[in-house]
Structure 1
């Protein structure tokens, strides 16, 4: 897989080729009269040819808008403004060293990063840009391959996106779609955002264990066999440890000397010394923690006090912009702790240092920005052609016509969702198209909408990390090449496929056990 995949062109050109393939496919589909009926609206969805004067003009006039309105672009840029301050002030490095200094680099570190990733969906898509570099830095700090740490974080954040220890916006979004779909059978049926919470919370632990097992038993050994020590850029994953004088004002005095893969170049004592915090750093962490607590207190007050202007419509909490657009609060939180830490340790000596750190953070995203231009055009063409909607509707109809025993039907649904997710990476869009068909169909055979929704979540997440259609696949590749410049698409695929398969099979097996035991999916929601 790695050898073949690395023969693929640069991701920028790969998406250019895919965009051209969409144009050709749209012409073939339109010529063949391909169409499907949207079960939600009754609208007939026809595949439209992009080989027309109208769409040729749109490819020119909408190119800039396609790029600037590409959702992950603004999200990552805004998030990085805050993360960069926390990173280059030295706060993130010190905080990780404080955390991993108590963990001796074994499976406990892997599990901790995995659990943080699967729960990180509370931060929405911002979890990718936060956790992937943190995972690499944590592994590097204990003498392990930073590429493996980055892959643990990516697998947990992306393939485990639909599980979490805490309630998040995904629960609210999917529940709303499921309620509308259930209305075709029972107009009074309501799917609660808490309907999958018990299983989702337990799944976070199970998926973290699966990620840990795959990492320790396969991925670590695979990386050791295929990656030579001199190919790894340990400095790229090093902690930013502030020094004194000019070094501190510049945001860090340089990283410690990098250990070799597996920690051969550093004894346990040397690694402990590298991770040790000096008194100034400890005081800086306290200052950062206090600033973070103040931001969280203000956030909680704005969210939970009745009548707050930042509550949602109808004075709601779950529809508050503080939750639906949580990337801005996250950026503010990281900036606040970074500023407090930097002022305390001396890495921030004036107001000009803060935007300087932000500029440095933006500089790390230039490769991704170039790639996202091609991705945005491809995504727009796929939407204009209706190929994605046609595929989802026809796939759902095939499942509707099947007459299978419950567990076989469950497996078929999960596999279909996983396959469609390779092409339609937006979980909410895919569920909005599928739910009006599969939810009523399964209700007629005695399967609750909450169960169908959970099966969708199981199929939707694990294949996120193996589809180049996902913009975060490209983001992960950018980070991978930062730590190992020789890496390509094949390298990333060879590292992520084991996680994807293990999580898909393991998560579904866990659901089967849960189903056979008859444990409630959520408060008052029976699984059978």
Structure 2
């Protein structure tokens, strides 16, 4: 890859475009940040100092949950040290997303490692008319997040192939596929591992105000489905009316082009996909049949579905459905030949989660310290009082939060890390002005996604640049940003407008999740 992102001048002495210089500044600043694991320990140290100062000043607030006075406790104290040492294991074990994400990943891993998800992506972008290829690749990008990081590896090169197969620029295909995944990452119409992570963190933050609060992994599902369709439509329009007009869409004459035939599925793969689809249909019908009776054990009190064992165990349901289609597909294609292969695939999937689990250990400690010191209570109550005093319209507050988080996302591209920092303050603060936790989480999704496609701090940005350089060897960071920036801006704007319309109309964000 070219390295013209590190200075103000190119190798030939010409001054680089402003956007390239800005990306270089962001890259250098981001590289100066510690690894997220150490970042949370650093935040814990800062919290310890802040809690000691506030405790020394006797800072307290009245808890809105029970009317009791809550005083800040110092982490730098005997009690604080005893708490930190004695609860470390429990903090990790009881971290809300921990068990949920492990269960979901085991099911998704079977679907991914058996080849099912890759085949599904290939068929979704290869069997569409030329006029629909942009929308197909864009929508597949939003849905591909169920495969987590594998979405980039599978779909970005497929995007280039799909565009070339219909006579369009493969460079555009790479850009559309990458941007739809990166800047639409939290808009998947299918429940993903990220939904489980965010829901767990949001639940822990909401319990600062309401000890009985619970946010399910499908609490934003309705909003996510609409978001994925809107974002795919926006990508289609911007690609047609802006990016397609660029004069630099032809690949290098000597570019090594992949064989378009790799898009096509073999007869066995097509047969396996049909069988997997049939298995998914049967499993869904059985599940619906079990839930339909009002006396069903999967329903809650008075036949409720919103508060029921079904939604409480939605992570298990998602894992089961993915595991089912993965097993059926794998048996038909031969990637699964014996029962012992299934747990092996699960183990391979969990290996990919090891870095996340290590990060969870640090996050769990920070959140536990944050809760114990009551610094979060003070910040939330004081911020809510400030909002009421200033009289800012809630929509203005939403926009301010969105801008702040979007800027942070340019530097901290890990969604779980950023939400772990922001949720303990934003969720309680907005709950105190009658904004449900699920709504704050939906707002965060926009900020966590929109700027991801333009920041070189994302490892997948560099990966996408590598795919782009297959078609244009001299492409650099500025080249990719110049392609993704119009898409990212349009997607963020449209997604924000959708959120505001959702709020004004009062449409539920998901099952049992009112927007206001």
TM (normalized to structure 1)? 0.65
User: Is 1:386 aligned to residue 358 of structure 2?
Assistant: no
1:206 to 220, 224, 230: 230
Unaligned runs of 5+ in 2: 1-25, 161-170, 211-219, 409-417, 467-476, 509-514
Residue 48 of structure 1 corresponds to 73
User: Is 1:15 aligned to residue 40 of structure 2?
Assistant: yes
Question: Matched residues in 2 for 1:480 and 1:276: separation?
Answer: 27
Seen in structure 2, the aligned counterparts of structure 1 residues 498 and 389 have a Cα distance that, compared at 3 Å, is: farther
User: Is 1:88 aligned to residue 76 of structure 2?
Assistant: no
Q: Deviations over 1:47-104 (max 9, x none)?
A: 2211111221222221122222222222221112111211222222212111121256
Deviation at 1:380, TM superposition (A): 1.8
1:331 to 297, 319, 342: 319
Residue 188 of structure 1 corresponds to none
Deviation at 1:510, TM superposition (A): 5.3
Seen in structure 2, the aligned counterparts of structure 1 residues 76 and 396 have a Cα distance that, compared at 3 Å, is: same
SS of alignment partner, residue 282 of structure 1: helix
Residue 354 of structure 1 corresponds to 342
2:257 to 260, 266, 273: 266
User: Is 1:108 aligned to residue 96 of structure 2?
Assistant: no
User: Contact conserved, 1:94 with 1:277, CA < 8 A, in 2?
Assistant: yes
Deviation at 1:9, TM superposition (A): 1.9
Q: Deviations over 1:202-239 (max 9, x none)?
A: 6554344456678999999xxx9xxxxxxxxxxxxxxx
User: Is 1:438 aligned to residue 406 of structure 2?
Assistant: no
1:415 to 381, 397, 400: 400
User: Contact conserved, 2:142 with 2:185, CA < 8 A, in 1?
Assistant: no
Unaligned runs of 5+ in 1: 118-127, 182-195, 225-259, 440-448, 469-475, 486-490
Deviation at 1:332, TM superposition (A): 0.8
User: Contact conserved, 2:51 with 2:373, CA < 8 A, in 1?
Assistant: yes
TM (normalized to structure 2)? 0.66
Question: Matched residues in 1 for 2:421 and 2:151: separation?
Answer: 25
SS of alignment partner, residue 70 of structure 2: strand
Question: Matched residues in 1 for 2:270 and 2:189: separation?
Answer: 35
Superposition pairs for residues 26-105 of structure 1, below 5 Å?
26-103=51-128
Seen in structure 2, the aligned counterparts of structure 1 residues 78 and 510 have a Cα distance that, compared at 3 Å, is: closer
User: Contact conserved, 2:363 with 2:420, CA < 8 A, in 1?
Assistant: no
Question: Matched residues in 1 for 2:370 and 2:102: separation?
Answer: 24
Deviation at 1:114, TM superposition (A): 5.4
RMSD: 4.9
User: Is 1:156 aligned to residue 141 of structure 2?
Assistant: no
2:360 to 372, 378, 387: 372
User: Contact conserved, 1:98 with 1:276, CA < 8 A, in 2?
Assistant: yes
Residue 151 of structure 2 corresponds to 134
Question: Matched residues in 1 for 2:299 and 2:446: separation?
Answer: 33
Deviation at 1:426, TM superposition (A): 9.2
User: Contact conserved, 2:188 with 2:228, CA < 8 A, in 1?
Assistant: no
User: Is 1:305 aligned to residue 274 of structure 2?
Assistant: no
Deviation at 1:333, TM superposition (A): 0.9
Aligned residues: 422
User: Contact conserved, 1:162 with 1:457, CA < 8 A, in 2?
Assistant: no
User: Contact conserved, 1:199 with 1:521, CA < 8 A, in 2?
Assistant: no
SS of alignment partner, residue 305 of structure 1: coil
Residue 464 of structure 1 corresponds to 448
Question: Matched residues in 1 for 2:275 and 2:190: separation?
Answer: 32
Residue 265 of structure 2 corresponds to 277
Deviation at 1:336, TM superposition (A): 0.9
Seen in structure 2, the aligned counterparts of structure 1 residues 478 and 20 have a Cα distance that, compared at 3 Å, is: farther
Seen in structure 2, the aligned counterparts of structure 1 residues 217 and 75 have a Cα distance that, compared at 3 Å, is: farther
